[in-house]
Structure 1
Amino acid sequence: MRKTDTWQDNREIIAELKQKDSHFATIFDEHTQLDQQINQLEKDLVTHASRDEEIEKMKRRKLHLKDEIYKTIDKNKVKNSA
């Protein structure tokens, strides 16, 4: 997969995977929720060291999920083109 691929570039595969693969749907939803939570926490004007640590932990989890999501998308692109 190219680094420039985005959710938008893969929206059809994502929609299909969310319907037929419950694990994919779960990790995609968790990724989306983490993204929203991180954005909310980063907008909060009152920041604390503990919150920074929490945000970093969330970002690491989100990145791990993103990697897993793209691996699943890649596998399905190969299946669909074969």
Structure 2
Amino acid sequence: MSNTPHDLYEDFPEKAEAIHALKAKDAHFARLVEEYHEINRAVHRAETLVEPTTPEHETELRHKRMKLKDQIWKQLAA
């Protein structure tokens, strides 16, 4: 378990410009990115015990984050 936030710009530094451009022109992509950031912040808060949660809920949040990241990557790679 890592307490390091999984920021998209850090995870995909070579795609930073593409992320920014797609957010500006594609409302669906922008919503995916915003939802990813919300879930990512929730995972980080749970991991650092700022907002403790059950292990099951933390796992559910991680799965949601992974699915969102996969959707974001598919759009970036297209």
Q: TM bucket by the smaller chain?
A: 0.7 to 0.9
Which structure ranks higher in relative contact order (CA pairs < 8 Å, sequence separation ≥ 6)? Answer: 1
CA RMSD of aligned residues (A): 2.0
After the TM superposition, which parts of structure 1 deviate over 3 Å for at least 4 consecutive aligned residues?
Answer: 45-48
Residues 24-43 of structure 1: pairs in structure 2 closer than 5 A: 24-43=29-48
**Structure 1 or 2: larger helix share?**
1
Paired position in structure 2 for 1:58: 61
CA separation in 1, counterparts of 2:51 and 2:72?
Answer: 33
Q: Give the total of aligned pairs.
A: 69
CA separation in 2, counterparts of 1:27 and 1:59?
Answer: 15
CA spacing shift, 1:43–1:22, aligned 2, 3 Å: same
CA spacing shift, 1:72–1:43, aligned 2, 3 Å: same
CA spacing shift, 1:36–1:10, aligned 2, 3 Å: same
Structure 2: stretches of 5+ with no match in the other structure: 1-10
SS at 2:22 equivalent: helix
CA spacing shift, 1:60–1:21, aligned 2, 3 Å: same
Aligned identity (percent) is: 25
CA separation in 2, counterparts of 1:46 and 1:73?
Answer: 32
Over alpha carbons, which structure has the higher Rg? 1
